[in-house]
Amino acid sequence: MGFIRFKRFNRFNALNPLNLTAWLALIIFGAGAMAGALGIVLGLGGGIFLVPFLTLALGLPLKSAAAISLSTVIATSSVVSAQRAGNQLINLRFGMVLEVATTVGSLLGGITAQFVAESTLQRLFGVVAAAVAAVMLGRINRRNVILDPTVDPGRLGGRFHEEESGGIVSYRIKRLPLALFASFIAGNVSSLLGIGGGIIKVPVLNAWCGMPLRAAAATSALMIGVTATGGAIIYYGRGDLQPLLAAPAVLGVQAGSWVGARVASGASVKWLKVLMAALLVVVAVLMFMRSTQ
Amino acid sequence: MNRERSGMERLETTIGEVLRFGTITSSTMFAVGLLITVTGYQPMVAQLLLGTGLIILLATPPARVVVSVIEYIREGDWTFVVLTLIVLMALAGSVVAAYL
């Protein structure tokens, strides 16, 4: 009897840490899948949903959550851009110019994150989550295209096949300094909070810098990979990026985006946008409450 | 102009290949590593796979930038060679900041 009890106890102890790891991995995978699917359907990265889940629900420090989220941003960027490569929607030249600003921004953001208190990061996340909610609801879509394909798009502009008109269209870039500034801020916020930063750049590029929305989104999707890497490297070196937690998040986001891409096409997402904007406002409030504890 | 366009198209294709290779390799390592972790056998192998997968994931976007530098050098587009090198230097700055 005593022997059996001992054996049971022993077995329980031996399995428990494994179970815990497996459960945690499974939960993170599920959270990643939800965030990835929502991201694809709503046209934003999943990080804005993944980070609050990891911190508010699982209790991870914001720095670890941001680091995990950044690795999913890198994976999403690479997968999406690999699929799009060849259709000329990605503006490689303009993207590279803006990457100068995003990578410098993410370098400075990553360094800042090491010195800033957890509560400050939480408040900043709250502000950004509320701003994202506002941008999501009021998103504008300027067409910005020149229908004549023979027009010179300039050194930074581009040309692509537009579905609406069924032909090749051009666009020119305006207000480069503003685009650079928005990219710098996006890179900074990306490193500090673990989001891609597309939600900051894309509306600016579309509304003021002359880029059609799809070209801006595709170019931003490519840029966020290298931007997130700048931040992720710093977290990795400082021991905040655990492979065991990053792996299920990355796989989850990929699975979620795959499913989301198949569900999203054609479906109306207006009610979902309102719902998720409300959720982000709740996230903002929770982050503020957490920061005062 | 024409030559420049074809260069950009070639670069886009190469970038696509680099990104595809990086994501497939890292995701496969993550999946196998996690499965081994869950079974509890060979924890060292699992750690090695997860760690290497993460490094490959982090190395993929910089690899894309390196490919771009090579293409811009081939085209003799020195403005973009310089811009691309600045991006690489910022990434190197992250490595320095990580271990300083």
Specify the pLDDT at position A270. 72
pTM: 0.89
Average pLDDT over residues A86-113: 92
User: Residue-wise pLDDT tens for chain B (100 aa)?
Assistant: 444 557 778 888 889 999 999 999 999 999 999 998 888 788 889 999 999 999 999 999 999 999 999 999 998 899 999 999 999 999 999 999 998 8
Nearest to B98 by CA among A222, A78, A61, A229: A229
Q: Which of A82, A84, A88 sits opposite B23 (nearest CB)?
A: A82
What is the pLDDT confidence band of residue A9, given thresholds at 50, 70 and 90? very low
Q: Do B91 and A230 touch (CB under 8 A)?
A: yes
Specify the pLDDT at position A267. 55
**How far lies A93's CA from each of A212, B4, B7, in Å?**
16, 12, 12
Average pLDDT over residues A265-285: 77
Min distance A192 CA to chain B CA atoms (Å): 13
- Structure-derived torsion over alpha carbons of residues A9, A12, A17, A20, reported in degrees to the nearest 10: -140
Cβ-based contacts of B91 with chain A (< 8 Å): 103, 107, 226, 229-230, 233
Residue A134: phi, psi to the nearest 5? -65, -45
Q: Do B30 and A247 touch (CB under 8 A)?
A: yes
Q: What is the ipTM of this complex?
A: 0.92
Which tens digits make up the pLDDT trace of B2-21? 445 577 788 888 899 999 99
More confident residue, B2 or A216: A216
Per cent of chain A over pLDDT 70 is 90
What is the pLDDT confidence band of residue A278, given thresholds at 50, 70 and 90? confident
Q: What CA–CA distance (Å, rounded) separates A110 from B100? A: 13
Whether residue A111 has pLDDT greater than 60: yes
Whether residue A152 has pLDDT greater than 80: no
Residue of A nearest to B28 (CA): A251
Q: What CA–CA distance (Å, rounded) separates A226 from A96? A: 10
Specify the pLDDT at position A74. 94
Residue of B nearest to A22 (CA): B38
Q: Which of B11, B53, B98 sits opposite A236 (nearest CB)?
A: B98
Q: Which of B12, B16, B58 sits opposite A232 (nearest CB)?
A: B58
